[in-house]
A and B are shown apart, each in its own frame.
Chain A
């Protein structure tokens, strides 16, 4: 892997992504809409009654709203990762022949979507901070972790599916399941979600350090599996390489043989 090649990949895909303005706006706005719908929508009557009976207790709705808030960047960044990686599959073989390694392509594209995450994280943090009382430090950390875990989701799904449609369906499934099943440590989003609940004043079951380690460990595992599958999928087949100079060499020295 070369830093120069990785930087070239990251830069070019950042340009490509930045010019897809409608798609970029949807990636940012749809999760915001999801969160605002959960935050501002009418409360479930049974939950409202329960909260009226226990005014000092945190609302069950708060946990649901914060989980929904976490799903937003997870969905958004995972989908962006999928499209940045898979959307370039027609050019991958050309890039391999030019001298890029499959790891250059993967790491560079991860860099592009982490850049997108760096835009989404403060946006989401500001939005949630405006809507409810939160610990800003924990909130930034949890959204940042969600972005990192989301890149892991996108990498592994992009490496395992054949096209964007399969990948989007897989992401909808994976994020949907994590939205429905809350508080299960075997889910990749659990650590970041626990931190998000804690940021919102709800006592998560995990200590912050455990939550952070969980998120990083899961991301490493997802990226590791994705990288292995990617290296098998995007590669040059073995051919015997003959030491023959460039066409320009022949022009300057005359052909041999």
Chain B
């Protein structure tokens, strides 16, 4: 299987506090890796380093040219509609307005985003904003998908659908890294990267959904 993300000996400290210490792992096409750990253990920091949004102090990251990154906080513009967000991000991806809308419509349909919703982001609920957040990340149709707890505010149906869809993305050939606190869902991924406060870490198989 082709490697879509390769993290080698990545370390990061904030104000002399070690957050990541020599972390190494690979993600291949068709593979899902969950990143777990308590608050402040460095999960978001690791994902941002993988995306190229944050510099590591040491170590290297190699990843696919195109990446789908879904941040924990929706990165949206309050006074734009969902459709305008699709066209805006789509322009960066080189998509025409029609292509961005078409791809976005399929993603919104899957996410159960109300098709008649034409209001600006400011008027939407947290869960609905989060659906736009995830759809914009997936608009890239990238072979590497980095998700930082993207389901916050989702209703139950969309939440279940989200985890089911991880299997679809794997089947489609994407490598998925998902930050999560939902330990009950770990049976749905191939491996679990556990980050601990102080920078230590462990990479485990998740066949039984239990961390060693």
Which of B4, B28, B77, B172 is close to A88, meaning CB atoms less than 8 Å apart? B77
Q: Is the CB of A12 within 8 A of B88?
A: yes
Which of A19, A94, A244 is close to B79, meaning CB atoms less than 8 Å apart? A19
Q: Is the CB of B69 within 8 A of A97?
A: yes
Name the residue on A nearest B103 (C-beta). Answer: A248
Residues of B close to A99: CB separation below 8 A: 92-94
**Shortest CB distance B206–A (Å):** 21
Band of interface residues on B: 35 or more
Q: Is the CB of A244 within 8 A of B1?
A: no
Name the residue on B nearest A248 (C-beta). Answer: B141
A132 contacts the other chain (Cβ, under 8 Å)? Answer: no
Given known pairs A8-B88, A241-B65, A246-B141, the reply for A16 and B79 (CB within 8 Å) is yes
**Shortest CB distance A4–B (Å):** 7
**Shortest CB distance A3–B (Å):** 11
Q: Is the CB of A251 within 8 A of B62?
A: no
Given known pairs A93-B53, A246-B66, A248-B141, the reply for A255 and B173 (CB within 8 Å) is yes
Name the residue on B nearest A94 (C-beta). Answer: B75
Given known pairs A99-B93, A242-B63, the reply for A237 and B173 (CB within 8 Å) is no
Given known pairs A90-B73, A246-B142, the reply for A255 and B30 (CB within 8 Å) is yes
Name the residue on A nearest B66 (C-beta). Answer: A246
User: How many Å lie between the Cα of A96 and that of B71 in the bound state?
Assistant: 13
Against A, the Cβ 8 Å flags (1 = close, 0 = not) of B58-90 are 001111111101010101111110001001111
B183 contacts the other chain (Cβ, under 8 Å)? Answer: no
B55 contacts the other chain (Cβ, under 8 Å)? Answer: yes
B102 contacts the other chain (Cβ, under 8 Å)? Answer: no
Which of B65, B80, B94, B173 is close to A251, meaning CB atoms less than 8 Å apart? B173
Beta-carbon contacts under 8 Å, B114-163 to A: 120, 136-137, 139-144
Beta-carbon contacts under 8 Å, A213-244 to B: 236-244
User: How many Å lie between the Cα of A91 and that of B70 in the bound state?
Assistant: 11
Which of A8, A90, A257 is close to B2, meaning CB atoms less than 8 Å apart? A257
Q: Is the CB of A94 within 8 A of B71?
A: yes
Residues of B close to A4: CB separation below 8 A: 91
A250 contacts the other chain (Cβ, under 8 Å)? Answer: yes
Q: How many A-B residue pairs have CB under 8 A?
A: 141
Which of B80, B93, B173 is close to A15, meaning CB atoms less than 8 Å apart? B80
Given known pairs A91-B75, A93-B53, A95-B92, the reply for A244 and B141 (CB within 8 Å) is no
Given known pairs A246-B141, A255-B173, the reply for A100 and B92 (CB within 8 Å) is yes
B191 contacts the other chain (Cβ, under 8 Å)? Answer: no
A53 contacts the other chain (Cβ, under 8 Å)? Answer: no
Residues of B close to A41: CB separation below 8 A: none
Given known pairs A255-B29, A257-B3, the reply for A250 and B51 (CB within 8 Å) is no
Which of B69, B71, B73, B143 is close to A245, meaning CB atoms less than 8 Å apart? B143
Beta-carbon contacts under 8 Å, B31-70 to A: 49-55, 60-67, 69
Given known pairs A15-B84, A241-B64, A257-B28, the reply for A20 and B79 (CB within 8 Å) is yes
Residues of B close to A88: CB separation below 8 A: 77
B169 contacts the other chain (Cβ, under 8 Å)? Answer: yes
Q: Is the CB of B75 within 8 A of A237?
A: no
Q: Most chain-A Cβ atoms within 10 A of its Cβ — which of B50, B88, B144?
A: B88
Beta-carbon contacts under 8 Å, A21-80 to B: none
Residues of B close to A241: CB separation below 8 A: 62-65
Name the residue on B nearest A87 (C-beta). Answer: B77
Name the residue on B nearest A236 (C-beta). Answer: B52
Interface residues, chain A, with chain B CB atoms under 8 Å away:
4-5, 8-9, 12, 15-17, 19-20, 87-88, 90-91, 93-100, 104, 236-251, 254-257
27 A-B pairs whose Cβ atoms sit less than 8 Å apart in the complex: A12-B77, A16-B77, A16-B79, A20-B79, A90-B73, A91-B76, A91-B77, A94-B137, A97-B52, A98-B90, A99-B92, A100-B91, A238-B52, A239-B52, A239-B61, A239-B63, A241-B63, A241-B64, A241-B65, A242-B6, A242-B62, A242-B63, A246-B141, A246-B143, A247-B169, A248-B172, A257-B29
